């Protein structure tokens, strides 16, 4: 069982239970983004009053964790980590490495979180799960999950391409007797106000933080996110197939369109055949990632890329998003019946 069960609905509580337990003052989580959200970003978000998260990739090493987790904790405030359930189903070691550093929150997404959730609870972490459809929401309502993160298909990076953030959030708020966080397409104070006004306990933001100065992403990737419009993304498995990464087929990724996705996203079978034939495409994409060649490398980002800028610090982003309060106050005044 979790050290601090949070089974109260956020919407009918004068005090936000999740906020009390995790200690954030701004209801802003940076999404756990493998390759972008390391210790520096997590620490900067937590130091700014939000809640900082580490993104744990499938091939994380103990050395990486021993370097990045203390950095994340260096703000002196709470921090968390996000891991992939389908990776942990084969091997729980990445989770064990994380838990050794005492995160207060662990999010286990993209597959069944069962054994991993039990292990995280044993070590005293709260456990969250990102959900992308009604069946996953039902799974997250079981007792071993403390926090539901509704991740709509407009979001960046991997996830289902089934339901958008607002329908999923509304369903979760109706059904969940536990805190609900909204994710996908949120990048401005108005967006944060929309989901908090609906009853979410916090906003979970990936793409805008991927472009932050503290993000580990390549400069060219940050610049590409900053330059993109809201309709510049594509949802595809092409980059995973090229890189030979075993993501379950229901979890494609939303990325900025580029030369590689324009060539292959509509022709996945031909891509799989080409990758099966020799190493050429795999090497091209791996090299492009290393060099920051944005024509061939995956640039995981959601529709909110069109609302994101490069060159902003995490503190600037959190301060900007904290403007949700005045958005909510203005709305309350505008619609007041008294
Ligand atoms: C660059 C990038 C990498 C991501 N990597 C992960 C990851 O490793 N683990 C995870 O749970 N989610 C990952 N996500 C998904 C986020 O947790 C979140 O669902 C998404 O960013 C929310 O939508 P937004 O990008 O519109 O803010 C990633 C997203 C991005 C943009």
Q: Which whole number is the average pLDDT over 299-322? A: 98
Residue of 150, 204, 206, 235 best suited for mutating to test ligand 1, as the one with most atoms within 8 Å of CB: 206
The atom number, within ligand 1, closest to the CA of 151 reads 19
> Cβ distance 129 to 148 under 8 Å?
yes
pLDDT of residue 193: 98
The atom number, within ligand 1, closest to the CA of 304 reads 26
CA angle 101, 67, 88 (to 5 degrees): 55
pLDDT of residue 4: 54
User: Where residue 1 falls among pLDDT bands split at 50, 70, 90?
Assistant: very low
Residue 278: half-sphere exposure toward Cβ, Cα within 13 Å? 2
Q: Which whole number is the average pLDDT over 163-174? A: 98
Backbone angles phi, psi at 292, to 5 degrees: 75, 35
CA angle 162, 16, 166 (to 5 degrees): 20
Task: Compute, in angstroms, the gap from residue 187 CA to the centroid of ligand 1.
Answer: 13
The atom number, within ligand 1, closest to the CA of 205 reads 27
Q: Which of these ranges, 7-16, 61-70, 116-125, 154-163, has the smallest mean pLDDT?
A: 7-16
Q: Which residue's alpha carbon is at the smallest distance from atom 29 of ligand 1? A: 157
pLDDT of residue 229: 98
Residue of 31, 87, 95, 186 best suited for mutating to test ligand 1, as the one with most atoms within 8 Å of CB: 31
CATH of 10-216+309-335, one of 3.20.20.70, 3.20.20.120, 3.30.479.30, 3.40.50.720: 3.20.20.70
Residue 181: half-sphere exposure toward Cβ, Cα within 13 Å? 27
Is the predicted pLDDT of residue 7 greater than 80, yes or no? Answer: no
Q: What is the mean pLDDT of the chain?
A: 95
C-alpha torsion sign, points 253, 309, 128, 35 = positive
Instruction: State pLDDT tens for residues 208-260.
Output: 999 999 999 999 999 999 999 999 999 999 999 999 999 999 999 999 999 99
In this prediction the pTM is 0.96
pLDDT of residue 8: 47
Where along the chain do the CATH 3.20.20.70 domains lie? Answer: 10-216+309-335
pLDDT of residue 337: 87
With a 6 Å cutoff on the Cβ, whether 301 touches ligand 1 is yes
Is the predicted pLDDT of residue 133 greater than 70, yes or no? Answer: yes
Residue of 54, 108, 158, 203 best suited for mutating to test ligand 1, as the one with most atoms within 8 Å of CB: 158
């Amino acid at each position: 069982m979790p050290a601090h069960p949070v089974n109260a609905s956020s919407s009918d509580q004068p005090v936000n239970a999740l906020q009390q337990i995790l200690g954030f003052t701004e209801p802003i989580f940076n999404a756990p983004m493998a390759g972008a959200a390391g210790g520096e970003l997590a620490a900067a978000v937590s130091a700014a009053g939000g809640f900082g998260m580490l993104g744990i990739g499938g091939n994380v090493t103990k050395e990486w964790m021993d370097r990045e987790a203390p950095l994340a904790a260096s703000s002196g405030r709470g921090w968390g980590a996000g891991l992939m359930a389908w990776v942990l189903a084969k091997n729980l070691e990445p989770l064990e490495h994380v838990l050794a550093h005492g995160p207060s929150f662990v999010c286990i997404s993209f597959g069944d979180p069962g054994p991993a959730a039990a292990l995280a609870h044993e070590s005293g972490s709260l456990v969250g799960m990102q959900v992308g459809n009604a069946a996953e929401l039902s799974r997250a309502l079981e007792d071993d999950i403390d926090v539901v993160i509704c991740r709509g298909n407009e979001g960046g990076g991997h996830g289902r391409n089934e339901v958008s953030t607002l329908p999923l959030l509304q369903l979760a708020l109706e059904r969940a007797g536990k805190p609900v966080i909204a994710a996908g397409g949120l990048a401005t104070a108005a967006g944060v106000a929309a989901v908090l006004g609906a009853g979410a306990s916090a906003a979970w933001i990936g793409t805008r933080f991927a472009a932050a100065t503290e993000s580990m992403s390549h400069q060219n990737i940050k610049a590409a996110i900053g330059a993109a419009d809201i309709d510049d993304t594509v949802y595809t498995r092409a980059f995973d197939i090229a890189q030979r990464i075993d993501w379950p087929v229901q979890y494609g990724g939303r990325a900025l369109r580029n030369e590689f996705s324009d060539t292959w996203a509509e022709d996945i079978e031909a891509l799989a055949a080409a990758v099966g034939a020799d190493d050429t495409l795999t090497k091209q994409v791996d090299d492009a990632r290393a060099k920051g060649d944005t024509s061939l490398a995956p640039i995981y980002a959601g529709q909110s890329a069109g609302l994101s800028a490069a060159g902003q610090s995490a503190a600037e982003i959190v301060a900007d998003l904290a403007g949700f309060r005045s958005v909510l106050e203005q709305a309350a005044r505008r619609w007041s019946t008294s």
